Amino acid sequence: QSALTQPASVSGSPGQSITISCTGTSSDVGSYNLVSWYQQYPGKAPKLMIYEGSKRPSGVSNRFSGSKSGNTASLTISGLQTEDEADYYCCSYAGSSTLVFGGGTKLTVL
Amino acid sequence: QVQLVQSGAEVKKPGASVRVSCKASGYTFTNYPMHWVRQAPGQRLEWMGWINAGIGSTKHSQKFQGRVTITRDTSASTAYMELSSLTSEDTGVYYCARYSSTWYLDYWGQGTLVTVSS
Protein backbone atom coordinates (compact mmCIF):
# COMPACT_ATOMS: atom_id res chain seq x y z
CA GLN A 1 0.00 0.00 0.00
CA SER A 2 1.39 3.38 -0.95
CA ALA A 3 0.79 6.38 1.26
CA LEU A 4 -1.94 8.78 0.25
CA THR A 5 -0.58 11.97 -1.32
CA GLN A 6 -0.85 15.23 0.58
CA PRO A 7 0.92 18.55 0.00
CA ALA A 8 3.91 18.84 2.29
CA SER A 9 2.86 22.25 3.48
CA VAL A 10 0.13 24.85 3.23
CA SER A 11 -0.14 28.28 4.76
CA GLY A 12 -2.69 30.95 5.37
CA SER A 13 -3.35 34.09 7.34
CA PRO A 14 -5.68 34.32 10.31
CA GLY A 15 -9.28 34.49 9.18
CA GLN A 16 -8.59 32.95 5.79
CA SER A 17 -9.63 29.51 4.57
CA ILE A 18 -7.29 26.76 3.43
CA THR A 19 -7.83 23.36 1.87
CA ILE A 20 -5.61 20.32 2.23
CA SER A 21 -5.96 17.64 -0.43
CA CYS A 22 -5.46 13.93 0.00
CA THR A 23 -5.16 11.89 -3.18
CA GLY A 24 -5.44 8.15 -3.21
CA THR A 25 -6.54 5.57 -5.72
CA SER A 26 -9.64 3.68 -6.74
CA SER A 27 -8.61 1.03 -4.20
CA ASP A 28 -8.87 3.32 -1.19
CA VAL A 29 -10.19 6.89 -1.22
CA GLY A 30 -12.10 6.39 -4.45
CA SER A 31 -13.86 3.23 -3.36
CA TYR A 32 -14.99 4.13 0.14
CA ASN A 33 -16.39 7.16 1.89
CA LEU A 34 -14.22 6.27 4.87
CA VAL A 35 -11.63 9.01 5.02
CA SER A 36 -10.67 10.45 8.38
CA TRP A 37 -8.50 13.43 9.21
CA TYR A 38 -6.21 13.91 12.21
CA GLN A 39 -4.56 16.96 13.70
CA GLN A 40 -1.20 16.53 15.38
CA TYR A 41 0.78 19.05 17.38
CA PRO A 42 4.54 18.48 17.78
CA GLY A 43 5.25 15.81 20.35
CA LYS A 44 1.57 15.01 20.83
CA ALA A 45 -0.74 12.21 19.79
CA PRO A 46 -3.00 12.72 16.78
CA LYS A 47 -6.55 13.94 17.34
CA LEU A 48 -9.54 12.94 15.23
CA MET A 49 -11.01 15.93 13.37
CA ILE A 50 -13.17 14.41 10.61
CA TYR A 51 -14.51 10.91 10.01
CA GLU A 52 -16.52 9.26 7.24
CA GLY A 53 -15.26 11.97 4.94
CA SER A 54 -17.26 14.86 6.32
CA LYS A 55 -18.50 14.19 9.85
CA ARG A 56 -17.15 16.04 12.87
CA PRO A 57 -16.76 14.41 16.26
CA SER A 58 -18.32 16.16 19.19
CA GLY A 59 -16.16 19.04 20.31
CA VAL A 60 -14.46 19.72 16.99
CA SER A 61 -15.04 23.21 15.66
CA ASN A 62 -17.39 23.60 12.70
CA ARG A 63 -14.59 25.55 11.03
CA PHE A 64 -13.30 22.12 10.00
CA SER A 65 -15.06 20.41 7.12
CA GLY A 66 -14.34 17.48 4.83
CA SER A 67 -15.34 16.45 1.35
CA LYS A 68 -14.44 14.01 -1.39
CA SER A 69 -14.42 13.93 -5.15
CA GLY A 70 -13.27 10.85 -6.97
CA ASN A 71 -9.95 9.67 -5.59
CA THR A 72 -9.28 12.92 -3.71
CA ALA A 73 -10.50 13.89 -0.26
CA SER A 74 -10.14 17.38 1.12
CA LEU A 75 -10.02 19.06 4.49
CA THR A 76 -11.04 22.71 4.64
CA ILE A 77 -10.36 24.94 7.59
CA SER A 78 -12.20 28.24 7.53
CA GLY A 79 -11.56 31.28 9.68
CA LEU A 80 -7.97 30.19 10.33
CA GLN A 81 -6.72 30.65 13.85
CA THR A 82 -3.18 30.51 15.15
CA GLU A 83 -4.10 27.42 17.17
CA ASP A 84 -4.79 25.56 13.91
CA GLU A 85 -1.08 25.51 13.14
CA ALA A 86 -0.25 21.80 13.25
CA ASP A 87 0.33 18.76 11.07
CA TYR A 88 -2.69 17.19 9.41
CA TYR A 89 -2.99 13.61 8.22
CA CYS A 90 -5.63 11.95 6.13
CA CYS A 91 -6.38 8.27 6.48
CA SER A 92 -8.51 5.98 4.36
CA TYR A 93 -9.89 2.51 4.57
CA ALA A 94 -8.03 0.54 1.91
CA GLY A 95 -9.98 -2.69 1.78
CA SER A 96 -9.20 -6.06 3.34
CA SER A 97 -9.47 -4.57 6.83
CA THR A 98 -6.51 -2.25 6.35
CA LEU A 99 -5.88 1.47 6.68
CA VAL A 100 -3.50 3.78 4.86
CA PHE A 101 -2.33 7.22 5.99
CA GLY A 102 -1.29 10.21 3.97
CA GLY A 103 2.14 11.76 4.04
CA GLY A 104 1.00 14.61 6.25
CA THR A 105 0.68 18.35 5.69
CA LYS A 106 2.23 21.05 7.82
CA LEU A 107 -0.14 23.98 8.21
CA THR A 108 1.46 27.32 8.96
CA VAL A 109 -0.70 30.22 10.06
CA LEU A 110 1.18 33.35 9.06
CA GLN B 1 -13.69 8.93 30.11
CA VAL B 2 -11.84 6.84 27.59
CA GLN B 3 -8.12 6.60 28.27
CA LEU B 4 -5.34 4.66 26.61
CA VAL B 5 -2.15 4.61 28.65
CA GLN B 6 0.96 3.19 27.03
CA SER B 7 4.12 1.80 28.53
CA GLY B 8 7.30 3.84 28.84
CA ALA B 9 10.13 4.54 26.45
CA GLU B 10 12.39 1.71 25.38
CA VAL B 11 15.94 1.51 24.10
CA LYS B 12 16.81 -1.64 22.18
CA LYS B 13 19.76 -3.00 20.28
CA PRO B 14 19.48 -4.00 16.63
CA GLY B 15 18.09 -7.49 16.26
CA ALA B 16 16.19 -7.36 19.51
CA SER B 17 12.43 -7.28 20.04
CA VAL B 18 10.27 -4.73 21.82
CA ARG B 19 6.83 -5.05 23.37
CA VAL B 20 4.66 -2.00 23.93
CA SER B 21 1.54 -2.15 26.08
CA CYS B 22 -1.63 -0.09 25.92
CA LYS B 23 -3.98 -0.18 28.90
CA ALA B 24 -7.54 0.88 28.19
CA SER B 25 -10.06 2.31 30.61
CA GLY B 26 -13.39 4.07 30.50
CA TYR B 27 -15.08 1.65 28.10
CA THR B 28 -15.67 -2.04 27.51
CA PHE B 29 -12.31 -3.18 26.16
CA THR B 30 -13.61 -6.17 24.21
CA ASN B 31 -16.14 -4.09 22.26
CA TYR B 32 -13.59 -2.06 20.32
CA PRO B 33 -10.67 -3.18 18.16
CA MET B 34 -7.28 -1.62 18.86
CA HIS B 35 -4.97 -0.35 16.15
CA TRP B 36 -1.26 0.38 16.22
CA VAL B 37 0.36 3.25 14.34
CA ARG B 38 3.97 4.29 14.29
CA GLN B 39 5.74 7.52 13.47
CA ALA B 40 9.45 7.68 12.70
CA PRO B 41 11.18 10.91 13.71
CA GLY B 42 9.90 13.74 11.55
CA GLN B 43 7.95 11.32 9.39
CA ARG B 44 4.35 10.46 8.63
CA LEU B 45 1.95 8.24 10.53
CA GLU B 46 2.19 4.62 9.39
CA TRP B 47 -0.50 2.05 10.04
CA MET B 48 0.83 -1.22 11.48
CA GLY B 49 -2.15 -3.41 12.25
CA TRP B 50 -5.02 -4.12 14.59
CA ILE B 51 -6.57 -6.65 16.90
CA ASN B 52 -10.18 -7.51 17.50
CA ALA B 53 -10.07 -7.20 21.26
CA GLY B 54 -13.08 -9.47 21.63
CA ILE B 55 -12.00 -12.56 19.71
CA GLY B 56 -8.29 -11.84 19.36
CA SER B 57 -8.06 -11.97 15.57
CA THR B 58 -5.47 -9.70 13.99
CA LYS B 59 -4.58 -8.03 10.72
CA HIS B 60 -1.22 -6.50 9.87
CA SER B 61 0.19 -4.22 7.26
CA GLN B 62 2.16 -6.18 4.70
CA LYS B 63 5.16 -4.05 5.55
CA PHE B 64 5.34 -5.57 9.03
CA GLN B 65 4.18 -9.07 8.16
CA GLY B 66 6.24 -11.63 10.01
CA ARG B 67 7.74 -9.10 12.43
CA VAL B 68 4.77 -7.74 14.32
CA THR B 69 2.61 -9.57 16.83
CA ILE B 70 -0.45 -7.93 18.31
CA THR B 71 -2.09 -9.55 21.31
CA ARG B 72 -4.41 -8.61 24.14
CA ASP B 73 -5.18 -9.55 27.72
CA THR B 74 -8.88 -9.02 28.25
CA SER B 75 -8.60 -9.46 32.02
CA ALA B 76 -6.23 -6.49 32.10
CA SER B 77 -7.94 -4.48 29.35
CA THR B 78 -4.54 -4.21 27.72
CA ALA B 79 -3.34 -4.57 24.16
CA TYR B 80 0.24 -5.36 23.23
CA MET B 81 2.35 -4.81 20.14
CA GLU B 82 5.59 -6.72 19.78
CA LEU B 83 8.02 -5.93 16.98
CA SER B 84 10.96 -8.22 16.33
CA SER B 85 14.25 -8.07 14.41
CA LEU B 86 14.57 -4.38 15.15
CA THR B 87 16.72 -2.09 13.02
CA SER B 88 17.48 1.60 13.32
CA GLU B 89 14.60 2.23 10.93
CA ASP B 90 12.20 1.03 13.60
CA THR B 91 13.10 3.98 15.81
CA GLY B 92 10.04 6.08 16.39
CA VAL B 93 6.92 6.67 18.44
CA TYR B 94 4.39 3.87 18.56
CA TYR B 95 0.76 4.69 19.22
CA CYS B 96 -2.21 2.56 20.08
CA ALA B 97 -5.57 3.91 18.96
CA ARG B 98 -9.11 2.74 19.53
CA TYR B 99 -11.06 1.86 16.41
CA SER B 100 -14.59 3.11 16.03
CA SER B 101 -17.30 1.77 13.84
CA THR B 102 -16.40 3.04 10.39
CA TRP B 103 -12.66 2.79 10.10
CA TYR B 104 -11.57 5.78 12.10
CA LEU B 105 -9.50 6.03 15.24
CA ASP B 106 -11.25 8.03 17.92
CA TYR B 107 -8.94 7.81 20.93
CA TRP B 108 -5.16 7.57 20.96
CA GLY B 109 -2.58 6.63 23.53
CA GLN B 110 0.14 9.08 24.44
CA GLY B 111 2.73 7.24 22.38
CA THR B 112 5.78 5.17 23.29
CA LEU B 113 9.22 6.12 22.01
CA VAL B 114 11.27 3.16 20.87
CA THR B 115 14.90 3.85 20.11
CA VAL B 116 16.97 1.23 18.31
CA SER B 117 20.66 1.86 18.69
CA SER B 118 23.79 -0.16 19.10
| B103-113 residue pLDDT tens | 999 999 999 99
B35 touches chain A (CB under 8 A): yes
CA atoms within 13 A on the CB side of B44: 21
Give the percent of chain B with pLDDT over 90: 95
Q: Do B102 and A34 touch (CB under 8 A)?
A: yes
Mean of the per-residue pLDDT values of chain B: 97
Q: Do A99 and B109 touch (CB under 8 A)?
A: no
Contacts of B56 (CB under 8 A, 6+ apart): B71, B72
- Give the pLDDT confidence score for residue B108 in this predicted structure: 98
Question: A91-103, pLDDT tens digit by residue?
Answer: 999 999 999 999 9
- The H or E element that residue B31 is part of is none
Q: Do A45 and B37 touch (CB under 8 A)?
A: no
B106 touches chain A (CB under 8 A): yes
Neighbour-count burial of B58, counting CB atoms closer than 10 A to its CB (0-12 exposed, 13-18 middle, 19+ buried): middle
Cβ neighbours of B110 in A, within 8 Å: 45
- Give the pLDDT confidence score for residue A4 in this predicted structure: 97
User: How distant, in Å, are the alpha carbons of A72, B83, B85 from that of B21?
Assistant: 35, 12, 18
The pLDDT-based confidence of B58 (bands split at 50, 70, 90) is very high
Contacts of B40 (CB under 8 A, 6+ apart): B46, B89, B91, B92
- List the single residue in A with minimal CA-CA distance to B106: A48
User: How distant, in Å, are the alpha carbons of A10, A26, B41, B107 from that of A68?
Assistant: 19, 13, 30, 24
Cβ neighbours of A27 in B, within 8 Å: none
Q: Do A57 and B62 touch (CB under 8 A)?
A: no
Is residue A1 pLDDT above 80, yes or no?
no
Q: Hey, how many other C-beta atoms are within 10 angstroms of the C-beta on A31?
A: 15
E strands, B31-111, are 34-39, 45-51, 58-60, 68-73, 78-83, 92-100, 104-108
- Collapsing DSSP to helix, strand or coil, A84 comes out as helix
Residue B87 and residue B75 in contact, taking contact as beta carbons nearer than 8 Å: no
Give the percent of chain A with pLDDT over 90: 97
- Collapsing DSSP to helix, strand or coil, B94 comes out as strand
Q: Do A97 and B50 touch (CB under 8 A)?
A: yes
- Give the pLDDT confidence score for residue B101 in this predicted structure: 85
Residue B74 and residue B88 in contact, taking contact as beta carbons nearer than 8 Å: no
B95 touches chain A (CB under 8 A): yes
Is residue B65 pLDDT above 90, yes or no?
no
